Structure 1
């Protein structure tokens, strides 16, 4: 057992691919390699050629063979090709909706959020819930908040009434909280998170992930069996409309596409799938990860630019031409980019337009233990932050290579980084580890030891935080406590914060 309460045997066997189902390369059919249309023999031939060229060059110089970038990329390509996506795709496939529909209009930022030098972060809300919360989602206007976790229920909270203090905490409820937390969450309703298992029997399932429609017409949730539930919210609340059944293990991440016609799901079965919600059919599978999927995020900048274009005279446009099989990632042509991470530390970038192109891997620094339960884009989409197990956050620049440009290191006793979220001003990063929540000032030089580059936000201590949720307007932040079905302990505190820009 590690100091942070993580069971190392469990991590090795369950999280880091201890079982090898679906990864038997010996019985793999090239046609099943959904990552590319490139055969393994092609990669092996190119890899052998690159090795021979490197050896010849080294012999001519009288030195040992140097590390060759192209050879390294080919080796990485071979590794990705061996990661078989053991999912039966629909024929004909669904539509990659994000290429054909404009994104929805975003909620505007609160005044000063994009230009402020800091945010005042004050914990004021406690969502009283005796169970671990694995997932939280909310409508963009923060009218309704939804939570789900290990108890097998989806809870709907009236967030407006909560913020306005319509239900205050009792003295006993406030006892273990900081003084500023006085508002209790106002529960509007809840319903059973039921799944259909073998034999048609309905059973409660933990809620591993959630995402809600911007107008709260419907909600999707990830189940233990691998099913994705589609629930009606506004009309006939709590009625299960449909089950999407392709994943084989718990669905750990769900992201509605910016156009709200598609859905991207990630699971413990290592698969990332794009669903067409108009038809319920799979549009694409992303094969490349070798462990359980931990986070999925669309790059924000391209969609904000396309949103402006769709409101003007420019056409929305159809599917653009992506890269070819085995080619390098195209950083020059603007297009929808998907970032995915898995527990074993992998972070991959996908050009959604190019179904046969290899993803761009972001390399893990040397001597870094396998770990990536959370990652996020900066608000402008130019940087990527990946939380690690060794109390650190790796910062990557989009289009600037595969290695991190710097590493932000937390105190030694802070524990693994379990959740991340970037703030709207581009300067601050919210980092949740197993001891506290911190707001990191990214403009502070990491090497300067005379100042502390982060601020500790009171409220949490000693528990695993499942996610950091910041609303689109940057007015509120939520930090539920839970281990998302993996490893770690919960302190039972599910807190809400009010954010105020500081000039």
Structure 2
């Protein structure tokens, strides 16, 4: 549903999803560099997550030592989003593309990506690449699929007399099988890094390293996708990965998500990102 927060009324309803909706995200246009002056502590985009007390203490110490020079801030990027096109994923594995400019209510998605062949029908989390040309979908078989919007797709008729789309999977990131389903996924505000959460682990994939390893000479043994484990969680299933728009902080949460009765922890962690 699309709501008008000034009146509290629903302005549009989108009813074409085929199952429980698991994620929703507006399409990004790309990345924009934030222009910051050296030592600009007043910018709302780069304030401390916990207020300005740390900055004030640093300034006091500098003044006591007779050093009033302010440290330059690192350049940061911010994701710029489209306010008309958005994506949703569903628990049955489908990914839908919607356009708020097409119709006013009860509309079907403009593109419905069904589950590719030989892929389990399941998706708990999906996100856009920052370019807006790809979608990353977490799957139950310990993989993340990159769906290309621009590469050719195969259309198949459905029971409603319309066409579904079998997406073009431009690449597949393979987890170790022991990690379980990929239940949370998020991009960093750059073109290279992808965060993936599953059972008790957050993995940071470097897509450039993936491309480099895929471009090397093929051997009989399949190469593992390069990743780094982000430490912190010690039980449960990752349910949320949120990175703020400037890429300075990450919030993650884990729990059992209602699956099974095994031991788990319910934990929220806040990370400060430095890369």
- Does residue 1:464 correspond to 2:229, yes or no? no
**Greater displacement, 340-349 / 492-501:** 492-501
CA displacement at 1:335 relative to structure 2: 7.0
Q: How far apart are 1:380 and its partner, in Å?
A: 2.5
Q: Identify unmatched segments of 5+ residues in structure 2.
A: 33-81, 154-166, 217-221
Matched with 1:387 is: 138
SS of 2:237's partner is coil
Pairing 1:196-345 to 2, within 5 Å after superposition: 273-301=1-29, 336-345=84-93
Q: Is the 8 A contact 2:85 2:99 kept in 1?
A: yes
| Alpha-carbon shift at residue 483 of structure 1 (Å) | 4.3
Counterparts of 1:428 and 1:381 in 2: how far apart (Å)? 15
Instruction: Say which one has the larger Rg.
Output: 1
Please state how far the C-alpha of 1:285 moved relative to its aligned partner: 1.3
Alpha carbons of 1:358 and 1:439: their partners in 2 closer, same or farther (altered >3 Å)? Answer: closer
Match of 1:487 in 2: 259
Q: Deviation per CA, 1:185-214, whole angstroms, max 9, x where unpaired?
A: xxxxxxxxxxxxxxxxxxxxxxxxxxxxxx
Q: Check whether the contact 1:363–1:404 (CA below 8 A) recurs between aligned residues.
A: no
| Aligned residue in 1 for 2:192 | 427
Cα deviation code 1:344-389 (max 9, x no counterpart): 1111001110025642012322122221110111123222101011
Query: 2:73 maps to which residue?
Result: none
Cα offsets for 1:151-186 (capped at 9, x unmatched): xxxxxxxxxxxxxxxxxxxxxxxxxxxxxxxxxxxx
| Greater helix proportion | 1
Pairwise CA distance, 1:451? 6.2
Work out the CA distance in 2 between the residues paired with 1:338 and 1:451: 32
Q: 1:472 to 1:411 in 2, by over 3 A?
A: same
Check conservation: 2:28, 2:130, Cα contact below 8 A.
yes
Distance 1:452 1:357, change over 3 A: closer
Q: In the alignment, is the contact (CA less than 8 A) between 1:274 and 1:283 conserved in 2?
A: yes
8 Å contact from structure 1 (residues 477, 496) kept in 2 = yes
Aligned partners of 1:352 and 1:410: how far apart in 2?
35
Q: How does 1:121-140 map to 2 (within 5 A)?
A: none
Match of 2:147 in 1: 396
Which of 408, 427, 430 is residue 173 of structure 2 equivalent to?
Answer: 408
Cα contact 1:336–1:353 (8 A) shared by 2: yes
CA distance in 2, matches of 1:410, 1:342: 21
The TM-score with structure 2 as length reference comes to 0.66
TM-score in terms of structure 1 length: 0.37
1:462, CA displacement in angstroms? 3.7
Q: Is the 8 A contact 1:299 1:381 kept in 2?
A: yes
- Distance in 1 (CA, whole Å) between partners of 2:31 and 2:9 is 23
- In structure 2, the residue matched to 1:198 is none
* CA deviation vs aligned residue, 1:296-336 (integer Å, no higher than 9, x gap): 000121897xxxxxxxxxxxxxxxxxxxxxxxxxxxxx872
Tell me, which stretches of 5 or more residues in structure 1 are unaligned? Answer: 1-272, 305-333
Higher relative contact order (CA 8 A, sep 6+): 1
- Residue aligned with 2:137, SS: strand
> How well do the aligned residues superpose, as a CA RMSD in angstroms?
2.4
Q: In the superposition, relative to structure 1, how do residues 412 and 379 fare at CA in structure 2: closer, same or farther (>3 Å)? A: same
8 Å contact kept, 2:30–2:131: no
Q: Measured at CA, do residues 302 and 350 of structure 1 come closer, stay the same or move farther in structure 2, by a change above 3 Å? A: farther
Distance 1:337 1:454, change over 3 A: same
Q: Equivalent of 1:437, from 181, 199, 202?
A: 202
Tell me: CA distance 1:383–1:287, structure 2 relative to 1, closer, same or farther (3 Å). same
Is 1:371 matched with 2:99? no
Q: Which string of whole-angstrom CA distances, capped at 9 and with x for unpartnered residues, describes residues 252-309 of structure 1?
A: xxxxxxxxxxxxxxxxxxxxx11111221111111222221110000121897xxxxx
The answer (yes or no) to whether the contact 1:424–1:474 under 8 Å persists in 2 is yes
**Alpha-carbon distance change, 348 to 450 in structure 1, aligned in 2, over 3 angstroms:** closer
Residues 443-454 of structure 1: matches in 2 within 5 Å?
Answer: 443=208, 444-445=210-211, 447=214, 449=222, 452-454=225-227
Q: Distance in 1 between matches of 2:187 and 2:128?
A: 7
Aligned residues: 199
